[in-house]
Amino acid sequence: MGLDRMGQEEMEGLKQGWATFDHLADIGIRGTGTSMEEAFENGARALFSLIVEDIATISIRQEKRVECASYDLTGLFVAWINALIGFADLYEMVFRDFRVNIEGTGLRGAAIGERWSETRHGRGIEVKGATFTEAKIERKNGLWIAECVVDV
């Protein structure tokens, strides 16, 4: 779904840099920013806004380094999101803050958050993985947009 087909609620979400969007049985995530790195970071925030009931409850306590690569930038965004899903599962963590550095089709970054606690965070939606469905990286009206559909 491009910017031209967004509803009012989705446009409001872009003001904070991230949003989710409906997609048949799954859910889309979208990050925007003035740089591609910022769009990837905000796409990660959209992901974790699904995983926990309220992303604001996640404290900034631990940092995990993340590296991934792909054959193009769209694949890199999908790889980034899948790496974060894997790290959340492996380390039993949830993340709220992200740092991304993209060189070519490689990414070095960090995910910052804390161990997941049902009493502090509340379980949101179980996200199984990022897909290439509606995946794209584009620059429109001065903003970078990174989006894909996640399997829930």
What is the chain's length?
152
pLDDT one digit per residue (tens) for the chain, 152 residues: 344 444 444 444 455 688 888 767 799 999 999 999 999 999 999 999 999 999 999 999 999 999 999 999 999 999 999 999 999 999 999 999 999 999 999 999 999 999 999 899 999 999 999 999 999 999 999 999 999 999 99
Alpha carbon distance 99, 152 (integer Å)? 25
For the whole model, what pTM was predicted? 0.87
| CATH entry, 3-151, from 3.40.640.10, 3.40.630.30, 3.30.450.20, 3.55.10.10 | 3.55.10.10
Token pair belonging to 139: 């620059």
